[in-house]
């Protein structure tokens, strides 16, 4: 059997939505066939098949949201044995006349008729839900699974855990919700029903533990029998339980659907006729989660500098005719050169690790039909200005058609957001992880500038750098921004660097 899982289609993707299945159980498929259309937080993609075989089972229907890595379908490969179907009992065949026992044989010696063939075994039923926990038995439960079960009125002790060590995780609650809701009697009826007799308490002796450790373990669903005590004579301490809680929550976070980012805010109560309300699209809700997490987790600081781009815009008018160059292309080129001079901005921070990227991968914020998306211009350090123009136009076209590949959205080491075409004077973008800096490019506005001690009319573009203070400090950010400003104010230097790169 080959399991088809929800793929990770972008850095920030944790949950994908199945838009439409292109196959059904029983269909024959081959490697390369399209199984379904899947939506990530960035775009809609086709889910391809990587094995030849037959669709044995589809586990999630159209419209369902599935965590990354969870199985969505099963393919039976050649040689796999399907469960035999139940067959009706075979009718006993009458014995032919010539095989009847001789009349002279004693009746008592007549052999009994052969029993009819036994019917083929029926498929094994699905495993029954886990019975309620026995008295004294502790069931390991993910904190988020417990919260989800409480919200949906699910008896969590009756679930079968599929997490590490049989731990009940959020996916178990999600899977059991429809069946539990249908089979469970009303709360009042359950309260009145007599409790089932508890099975005998197991004879195993619980490990010695501090009283507070026992209380904490009960509340957090930790089985003391699985812990090794670090206290006197192996006694389990509060620190032992807290360490187990931290480890279990870390494991369960990989399986759980993260809660909505706006759960901490009070709900907006809308009166009838006061507004039109509809469910936000999947991609929009995912973007809300990402930007909320970025703003909450990443310590932002901002730095702004104005660049006199009067000369650059004049050169751009010439280059537009020959190469189709836009202001965005020139900013991207300047950004790459500034990163080469200030490589410390081309790093990321992740869970105690510093990631120094070998290539310069520039993310470009694009306003696509399904919402804001980021296309990544990979290994931009090797591109000439003409290459940047060609590659960027192709990326923008694919982004607006929702056709970016996973590699074209993967790991931007720096992100550029240009709102200059909208007559914007200044804005502060939110950092787009794993980028450590996101550059906000505003409009080039008519502004008085001082040149050679004289005030003249000029075009000034404000550049705002949003920085991740975990990995970028003020000196590094200032150095990058100064280099970027100098390049944009000296088009000859910028274009000479582009020509040199093209010649190399």
CATH of the domain at 445: 3.30.559.10
280 falls within a domain: no
Average pLDDT over residues 244-272: 69
Average pLDDT of span 306-318: 95
Residue-level pLDDT at 223: 83
Q: Which helix (H) or strand (E) holds 314?
A: helix 310-323
Asked if residue 59 and residue 170 are part of one domain, the reply reads no
Same domain? For 299 and 433 the reply is: yes
DSSP state of 234: G
Same domain? For 338 and 418 the reply is yes
Say how far apart CA 462 and CA 485 lie, in whole Å.
Answer: 10
Domain check: are 39 and 154 in the same one?
no
What is the CATH classification number for the domain harbouring 223? 4.10.320.10
Mean pLDDT of 254-271: 66
Q: What's the pLDDT score for residue 494?
A: 94
Using an 8 Å Cβ cutoff, are 241 and 229 in contact?
no
CB 187 within 8 A of CB 153: yes
SS3 category, 422: helix
pLDDT in tens, 167-224: 677 777 777 765 554 554 443 344 344 444 445 544 455 578 888 788 788 777 788 8
Position 392 scores a pLDDT of 97
| Residues 18 and 75 grouped into a single domain | yes
Q: Which domain holds residue 18?
A: 2-79
Radius of gyration, CA atoms only, the chain:
33
pLDDT at residue number 402: 83
Confidence of residue 139 (pLDDT cuts 50, 70, 90): low
pLDDT value of residue 111:
52
Report residue 137's pLDDT band, with 50, 70 and 90 as the boundaries: very low
- On whether the CB atoms of residues 283 and 176 are closer than 8 A, the answer is no
Of 212 and 327, more confident: 327
pLDDT at position 327, please? 96
Is 285 a member of any domain? no
Which own/partner pairs from 351-359 qualify as long-range (CB within 8 Å, at least 24 positions apart)?
A: 354/471, 355/434, 357/411, 357/413, 359/413
Is the domain of 165 the same as that of 298? no
| Tokens of residue 360, six digits | 């310069």
- pLDDT tens string 52-69: 889 988 999 988 888 888
Q: Describe the crossing of helices 327-341 and 474-489 by its angle, rounded to 10 degrees.
A: 130
What distance in Å separates the CA atoms of residue 144 and residue 139, rounded to the nearest whole number? 14
- Portion of the chain with pLDDT greater than 70, in percent: 73
Give yes or no: residues 180 and 324 share one domain. Answer: no
- Residue 345 within any structural domain of the chain: yes
Residues 249 and 315 in one domain: no
In a domain, 277, yes or no: no
Q: Is the residue at 95 inside a domain?
A: no
More confident residue, 126 or 39: 39
How many whole angstroms separate alpha carbon 410 and alpha carbon 467?
20
**Three-class secondary structure of residue 333 per DSSP:** helix
Tokens of 309: 């781009």
Are residues 453 and 305 located together in one domain of the fold?
A: yes
> What are 434-478's pLDDT values in tens digits?
999 999 999 999 999 999 899 999 999 999 999 999 999 999 999
pLDDT at 447: 95
- What does the pLDDT average to over 104-116? 49
Kindly state whether residue 436 falls inside one of the protein's structural domains: yes
Among 48, 79, 110, residue at a domain's last position? 79
268 has a pLDDT exceeding 50: yes
- What pLDDT does residue 41 have? 66
Is the domain of 174 the same as that of 50?
no
Three-state DSSP at 324 gives coil
Sheet holding 65-67, edge to edge: 44-48, 34-39, 15-21, 65-67
Residue 171 C-beta-side C-alpha neighbours within 13 Å: 22
In a domain, 397, yes or no: yes
pLDDT at 79: 65
Strands of 167-310, DSSP E? 300-308
pLDDT on residue 80? 63
Statement to judge: residues 329 and 476 lie in one domain: yes
Please indicate whether residue 503 or residue 221 has the higher confidence score (pLDDT): 221
Phi-psi map region of 363: left, alpha, beta (phi>0 left; psi -120 to 50 alpha): beta
- Which of 79, 102, 128 represents a domain boundary (last residue)? 79
pLDDT digits (tens, 9 = 90+) for 345-379: 999 999 899 999 999 999 999 998 777 899 999 99
Q: Could you give the percent of the chain with pLDDT greater than 90?
A: 40
Query: Considering the chain, what is the average pLDDT of its residues?
Result: 80
Burial zone of 37 (CB within 10 Å; 0-12 exposed, 13-18 middle, 19+ buried): middle
What pLDDT, on the 0 to 100 scale, is given for residue 187? 38
**What average pLDDT does this structure show over 109-113?**
51
CA angle 439-442-445, nearest 5°? 150
* pLDDT value, residue 9: 72
469 is catalytic: yes
Segment 85-110 shows an average pLDDT of 44
8-state DSSP, 490: -
Give the range with max mean pLDDT: 9-23, 218-232, 255-269, 305-319: 305-319
Looking at the predicted structure, is the pLDDT value of residue 107 above 70? Answer: no
* pLDDT at residue number 251: 64
Q: Which residue has the higher pLDDT, 230 or 138?
A: 230
Can you give the pLDDT at residue 45?
A: 78
Q: Which of 284, 361, 469, 502 is catalytic?
A: 469
Q: What is the reported pLDDT for 359?
A: 97
Rounded distance, CA 418 to CA 359, Å?
Answer: 22
In the predicted model, is pLDDT for residue 145 greater than 60? yes
Report the DSSP pairing between strands 437-451 and 414-418.
Answer: parallel
| Count of structural domains within the chain | 3
Give the residue-averaged pLDDT of 40-44.
Answer: 70
Give the domain CATH number at 6: 2.40.50.100
Choose one of 59, 79, 99: the last residue of a domain: 79
Q: Which of 253, 266, 262, 322 is nearest to 295 (CA)?
A: 262
CA distances from residue 172 to 67, 69, 435 in whole angstroms, order as listed: 12, 15, 35
More confidently predicted of 130 and 475: 475
Q: Domain for residue 266, yes or no?
A: no
222 and 346, same domain (yes or no): no
Query: Is the pLDDT at 499 greater than 80, yes or no?
Result: no
pLDDT at 113 over 70: no
pTM of the model: 0.56
Cα–Cα distances (Å) from 207 to 210, 235, 347, in that order, read 10, 7, 47
Query: What is the distance between the alpha carbons of residues 408 and 486, in angstroms, rounded to a whole number?
Result: 30
Q: What is the pLDDT of residue 277?
A: 93
- Strand, helix or coil for residue 374: strand
């Amino acid at each position: 059997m080959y399991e088809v899982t929800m793929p990770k289609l972008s850095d920030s993707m944790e949950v994908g939505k199945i838009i439409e299945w292109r196959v059904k159980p029983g269909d024959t498929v081959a490697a390369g066939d399209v199984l379904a259309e899947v939506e990530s937080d960035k775009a809609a993609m086709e889910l391809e098949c990587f094995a030849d075989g037959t669709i044995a089972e589809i586990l999630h229907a159209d419209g369902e949201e599935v965590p990354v890595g969870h199985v969505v379908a099963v393919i039976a490969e050649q040689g796999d044995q399907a469960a035999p179907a139940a067959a009706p009992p075979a009718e006993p065949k009458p014995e032919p006349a010539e095989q009847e026992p001789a009349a002279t044989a004693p009746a008592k010696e007549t052999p009994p008729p052969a029993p009819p063939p036994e019917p083929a075994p029926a498929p094994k039923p699905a495993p029954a839900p886990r019975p309620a926990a026995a008295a004294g038995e502790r069931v390991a439960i993910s904190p988020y699974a417990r919260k989800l079960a409480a919200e949906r009125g699910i008896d969590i002790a009756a679930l079968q855990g599929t997490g590490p060590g049989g731990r009940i995780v959020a996916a178990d609650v999600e899977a059991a919700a429809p069946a539990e809701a249908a089979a469970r009697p009303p709360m009042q009826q359950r309260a009145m029903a007599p409790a089932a007799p508890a099975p005998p308490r197991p004879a195993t002796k619980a490990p010695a533990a501090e009283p507070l450790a026992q209380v904490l373990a009960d509340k957090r669903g930790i089985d003391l029998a699985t812990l090794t005590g670090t206290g006197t004579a192996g006694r389990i301490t509060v620190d032992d339980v807290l360490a187990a809680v931290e480890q279990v929550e870390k494991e369960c976070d990989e399986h759980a659907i993260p809660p909505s980012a706006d759960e901490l805010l009070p709900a907006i109560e809308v009166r009838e006729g006061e507004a039109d309300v509809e469910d936000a699209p999947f991609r929009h809700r995912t973007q809300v989660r990402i930007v909320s997490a970025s703003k909450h987790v990443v310590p932002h600081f901002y730095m702004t500098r104005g660049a006199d781009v009067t000369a650059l815009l004049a050169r751009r008018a010439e280059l537009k005719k020959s190469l189709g160059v836009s202001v965005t292309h020139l900013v991207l080129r300047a950004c790459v050169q500034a990163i080469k001079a200030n490589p410390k901005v081309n790093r990321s921070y992740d869970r105690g690790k510093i990631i120094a990227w070998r290539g310069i991968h520039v993310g470009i914020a694009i306003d696509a039909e399904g919402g804001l998306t980021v296309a990544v211009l990979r290994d931009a350090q090797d591109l000439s200005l003409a290459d940047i123009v060609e590659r960027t136009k192709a990326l923008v076209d694919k982004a607006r058609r929702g056709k970016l590949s996973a590699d074209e959205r993967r790991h931007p080491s720096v992100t550029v957001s240009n709102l200059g075409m909208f007559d914007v004077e200044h804005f502060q973008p939110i950092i787009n992880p794993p980028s450590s800096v996101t550059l906000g490019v505003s409009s080039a506005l008519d502004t008085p500038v001082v040149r050679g001690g004289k005030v003249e009319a000029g075009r000034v573009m404000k550049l705002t750098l949003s920085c991740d203070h975990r990995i970028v400090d003020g000196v590094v950010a200032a150095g990058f921004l100064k280099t970027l400003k100098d390049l944009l104010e000296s088009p000859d230097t910028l274009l000479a660097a582009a020509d040199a790169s093209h010649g190399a």
